[in-house]
Structure 1
């Protein structure tokens, strides 16, 4: 059976009018939605994004059949957006993140002169390490680079803890002497 084209057009006009009315109603709800999110979200900069997410979801889902419950539908969508935000933040541990304080941690200074000086100091330290007796160098590297305890080094090398301490002191003195010569 062929339906009446005028009836189909009238149904299309009714749906377009309903969509238009819902769009105007949703736009009027922007202020209350912002207030809703501001009460629930500590970061005020996110509120506008959350409102946009509500409008995006409303656009994707389409309009409800009846505009009588439009406010409830809109705020139900807002609650869903808020719940999704909360889940994302939990998974990403967003509340555990700390903003980097450049005063406390220093800025990123990529000054070429500073980088060159750092490389030069590193090469000087490596050269000084190579001029140490092998056993002293080994003990120093086990302590400073590997982070082993004096007792563990003593067991590994087969000497007393006191001897390990003396080797580390000698290595530090050797490095300080070579650092003084470089300046």
Structure 2
């Protein structure tokens, strides 16, 4: 059972050993988490756990014990993140939702997305819009489109790139 208040002597010994390992352990955490401040938090959590340990073996094998503790702290962090991610997702449970409601919602969302894309497409230059529609809606190849407009395939590619960039920038989905 962990101590709530370790003795001052024990705390001093662990603190000295921890300070000697601090830089190495911080670098170890920074290689495993993207946020430097989170690495600092994990380092502090490791120190807290080590100071609350009661058996003398931890101090005799301090470096090994510290890395095992750090791995445990990191695993706990990853578990907590996994739980949060699972809670953030809303599952569509068949018994809670009528299949017709789900289909109607999907249809409504698809129509709304189409209206957004149409509105953004209308702001494109006419040729760029026509090229985008021929490629994405009608499925023509770049060579076929180039022949229709008497332009190079490279020019068709540039029109497509402009259209996609414009859609992404203005809230349309080019998919």
TM-score (norm 1): 0.39
Higher normalized contact order (CA 8 Å, seq sep 6+, divided by chain length):
2
Bigger radius of gyration: 1
